[in-house]
Structure 1
Amino acid sequence: MSKNIVVLEDDEGIRDVLEILLLSEGHEVNAFADISSFVANKPKDADLFLLDVMLPDGNGILVCNDLKKTQKTANIPVLMMSAHADFSALSLNCKADGFITKPFDINHFLDLVNEHLKEG
């Protein structure tokens, strides 16, 4: 069954790869390059959020915290992605459901996404 995955990633190459991978798995993808376009166009029926930590107009950790504090999105899984942080440090500031280190292994990435989609 198709799931709606929202991607917030400023690197166009990574965003394109994520979109291709997720579409090839049969999912719908809404991808955004910055927080302002994410906030203005955020789909209301997301099944999973993939958020980069470092963004040009803010911090993905703050977006994660906002999603987890909002009643409508509090139970939707959030996976954080970063080349510069580790999950133990990130988990002190953010209640994300998982963490993807960049660069990432494609099979591990898809396994993690599918695992959280089943839980959600």
Structure 2
Amino acid sequence: MKKSVLIVENDHDIRTIVELILLEQGFQTLSMPEPDDLAEIVVFRPDLILLDEFINNKPGHRLCRKIKQVPDLAGVPVIILSTANDIELIAKECDANDYIRKPFDLEDMVEKVLRFLDHQSLAL
């Protein structure tokens, strides 16, 4: 069964590239600029969430905190994506499992996702 990754990213180009790369790696993906509500995430049942820190001018770390409070999602790893200088602190405070500083190298992003999902990598 394919592992699934939810990509919540405000920037359309980044969202599309990340989704294409993860699809090439054999993941099932769902990407969106912003979820309508947490139920949408619960229904998808992702194995990992890549979460932009800035979602339509709202802080993504608030969504991360909400995700971690939902029993069906609490164990799902969340990786925060951000250009913020204090992204390490932001990720820690919202109980994200890790962070990726933008701009990022796609191979590094894939390696981080693979580490969390114990998935065998295909060459980029």
Offset of residue 92 of structure 1: 4.5
Ranges of 4+ aligned residues in structure 1 off by more than 6 Å:
none
Give the 3-state SS of the residue equivalent to 2:74 in structure 1: coil
Residue in structure 2 matched with residue 29 of structure 1 by the alignment: 29
Offset of residue 115 of structure 1: 0.4
Residue in structure 1 matched with residue 48 of structure 2 by the alignment: 48
Within 2, Cα distance between the matches of 1:58 and 1:112? 25
Give the 3-state SS of the residue equivalent to 2:104 in structure 1: coil
When the two chains are superposed, the root-mean-square deviation of aligned CA atoms in Å is 1.9
Within 1, Cα distance between the matches of 2:98 and 2:92? 13
Structure 1: runs of 5 or more not aligned: none
Give the alignment's TM-score, normalised by structure 1.
0.88
Within 1, Cα distance between the matches of 2:57 and 2:21? 26
Give the 3-state SS of the residue equivalent to 1:73 in structure 2: coil
Within 2, Cα distance between the matches of 1:115 and 1:16? 22
Within 2, Cα distance between the matches of 1:40 and 1:11? 23
- Asked whether 1:94 is paired with 2:94, we answer yes
Task: Describe the superposition over 1:39-80 as per-residue Cα deviations: whole angstroms up to 9, x where unpaired.
Answer: 463234210011000111522101111111111111110000
Structure 2: runs of 5 or more not aligned: 120-124
Residue in structure 2 matched with residue 113 of structure 1 by the alignment: 113
